[in-house]
Structure 1
Amino acid sequence: MQSPALQHVRFPCLPLPPSRLRNDKFNVRCRRSDYSGPHQPQPQPQQQQQQQRLSDAPPFGYPSASPQLQGGQASRVFVGYSIYKGKAALTIEPRAPEFAPLDSGAFKVSKEGFVLLQFAPAVGTRQYDWNRKQVFSLSVVEIGTLMSLGVKDSCEFFHDPFKGRSDEGKVRKVLKAEPLPDGSGRFFNLSVQNRLLNVDESIYIPISKAELAVLNSAFNFIIPHLLGWYAFANTIKPDDSARTNNSTLQSGADLEWGR
């Protein structure tokens, strides 16, 4: 049996590139991500702490955990909202309510919280004299009055810090909130007459509509906290209703809704 004839195939020969373009060494570099791969280097302790904080952080839009304990006591957090204008500056800060213990071990609100307004006159361009600041405390009802004002409405609050004491009438504070002539916001005007310190000062500051919107939103949020209702809500447990239903004593609310 004859073997098949072999056919010769001729391939074209391509010329080699010039020697100046030839490189005997051919290197390949592969850059991999630092966030994946089996050979990722071990993070340093500081990096581990940062990663732990990021993994423990809540999703955007959800409240974070309470401040961590330091020395057995919860860390205090101070917040405020400041408005700076040419004639004066205004800082608004909430103040927490006070609680009194009962014999049963429970607590009750002994003093409602408030919002502290601090007015400082200007002494230069974006410079304010906080040593001459005047303060005014807004109660929950006064906050509600400000929030309920119409576009053309105004209000006035009068405070005597020494009311009912021997120095009553010697310090007079009047806070006025009036609409701006062009309707773009409100004027806050604080007048203080202090005969004990021989002070007679008036500080006013314009508040824009946008700033008023921020204040109203902050007031809406903080009012339940000033009343202490948040503390009550945090103590509600699923078994409270069962314990109340099994109680032989009925409160006025039980009688009202039981009719």
Structure 2
Amino acid sequence: MPSLNITASGGRGILSIQNPQKLSSCNSTIPTSILVTRRKNDVFLTAPYGKCSINVSFSVKSQYLTPQEQRQQQQQQQRRFSSYESPSPSQPGQSPPRVYVGYTIYKGKSALAVEPRLPEFSPLESGAFKLSKEGFVLLQFAPAAGMRQYDWSRKQLFSLSVTEIGNIISLGPRDSCEFFHDPYKGRSEEGKVRKVLKVEPLPDGSGHFFNLSVQNKLINVDENIYIPITKAEFTVLVTSFDFILPYLLGWHTLANSTSPEEMSRLNNANSTVDYEWSR
């Protein structure tokens, strides 16, 4: 049985027969192309030549679509391709897909996991959004429980504010800094939980020590976890902190949500402000 390919343009088309074989006793071959004319849903075949009558059985699927069918096909394609589109940029008030990122350092006696936490926004009556809480970087210290094993159930947390992140970014090879946190400051439990994070240079200048001490009288915990950080690891931390800092302040939302036209309108509305460069 010969194989058939049909191509069409407008109301006419060509029926191509691949590998024609001799059929019937009249020793005739099927022509390699047959002119196809179409009138509505009927198909008529006209052989350009032939030595005898032959019967060829085949089916033709019409590729001609009505305007309504074309619109339906386009809508199906749009729905199919829309599932592959990238999610829209994060904006205040929206809930984009959650993405988890971080950087973890493993050493013999402890491990340190570093994760950013984005800022929070509050809606205004005007429909705009205002920064209500700055983001921070969460440090998680876990003691070792064996060879290459760490007890994350005993982890201790310390949240770095944007200012504290700035202090770490500005540290030189021989510089140190210290941060004190009381999670219950201003509340009845003030003073019962004490967290101190020290970042100090290693004696040989090869990096820094991160030392976290936690005293929690509420659950009778007194723990001290330290981890040495090499120059390369400290560089990764500083570079990551430097990159994420504007996002923790929420400045990326202003850049992503404000069009040039809107920015010009806002600037014109505040034109009475005596800017330093306009003096």
State the TM-score, normalizing by the size of structure 2: 0.65
Q: What residue in structure 2 maps to residue 126 of structure 1?
A: 148
- 1:158 equivalent in structure 2: 180
Which of 108, 111, 121 aligns to 1:99? It is 121
- Counterpart CA distance in 2 for 1:251 and 1:126 is 63
Number of residue equivalences: 195
Gaps of 5+ in 2: 1-79
C-alpha displacement of 1:207:
0.3
Aligned counterpart, 1:60: none
For 1:18-97, list aligned pairs within 5 A: 65-66=86-87, 73-97=95-119
SS at match of 1:197: coil
Q: Do the aligned partners of residues 246 and 177 (structure 1) sit closer, same or farther apart at CA in structure 2, a change above 3 Å counting?
A: closer
> Distance in 1 between the 2:214 and 2:220 partners?
10
Q: What code does the residue aligned with 2:130 have? A: K
Residue 80 of structure 1 deviates from its aligned partner by 0.7
CA RMSD of aligned residues (A): 2.3
Stretch of structure 1 that moved more, 230-239 or 185-194: 230-239
* Aligned residue number for residue 206 of structure 1: 228
For 2:272 and 2:189, how far apart are their aligned partners in 1?
Answer: 43
2:162 equivalent to 1:140: yes
Paired amino acid for 2:103? Y
* CA separation of 1:150 and 1:104: change in aligned 2, threshold 3 A: same
Q: Which residue of 2 aligns with 1:258?
A: 278
Task: Give the match's secondary structure for 2:245.
Answer: helix
How many angstroms does 1:246 deviate by? 4.6
Matched, 1:173 2:195: yes
TM (normalized to structure 1)? 0.70
> How many Å apart are 1:108 and its aligned residue?
0.8
Shift of 1:89: 0.3
Equivalents in 1 of 2:268, 2:204: separation in Å? 62
Counterpart position of 1:10: none
| Alpha-carbon distance between aligned partners in 1 of 2:148 and 2:227, rounded to the nearest angstrom | 14
Q: What is the aligned partner in structure 1 of residue 206 from structure 2?
A: 184
Could you tell me which residue of structure 2 aligns to residue 16 of structure 1? none
Residues in 1 aligned to 2:272 and 2:176: alpha-carbon distance in whole angstroms: 41
Paired position in structure 1 for 2:247: 225
**Contact in 2 for aligned 1:68/1:75 (Cα 8 Å):** no
Query: Where do 5+ consecutive residues of structure 1 fail to align?
Result: 1-51, 58-64
Shift of 1:67: 6.9
SS in 2 for 1:143: helix
What CA distance in whole angstroms lies between the structure 1 residues aligned with 2:95 and 2:133? Answer: 22
Q: Which amino acid aligns with 1:250?
A: S
Runs of 4+ in structure 1 over 2 Å off: 65-69, 244-247, 249-252, 254-259
Structure 1 246/219 Cα, relative in aligned 2: closer, same or farther at 3 Å? Answer: closer
Moved more, 163-172 or 150-159: 150-159
Higher strand share: 2
The secondary structure found in structure 2 opposite 1:231 is helix
For the pair 1:149 / 2:171, whether they are aligned, the reply is yes
CA distance in 2, matches of 1:142, 1:150: 15
Code of the residue aligned with 1:187 in structure 2: it is F
* Pairwise CA distance, 1:243: 1.8
Amino acid at match of 2:278: G
Alignment correspondent of 2:215: 193
Tell me the distance in 2 between the aligned counterparts of 1:245 and 1:204. Answer: 50
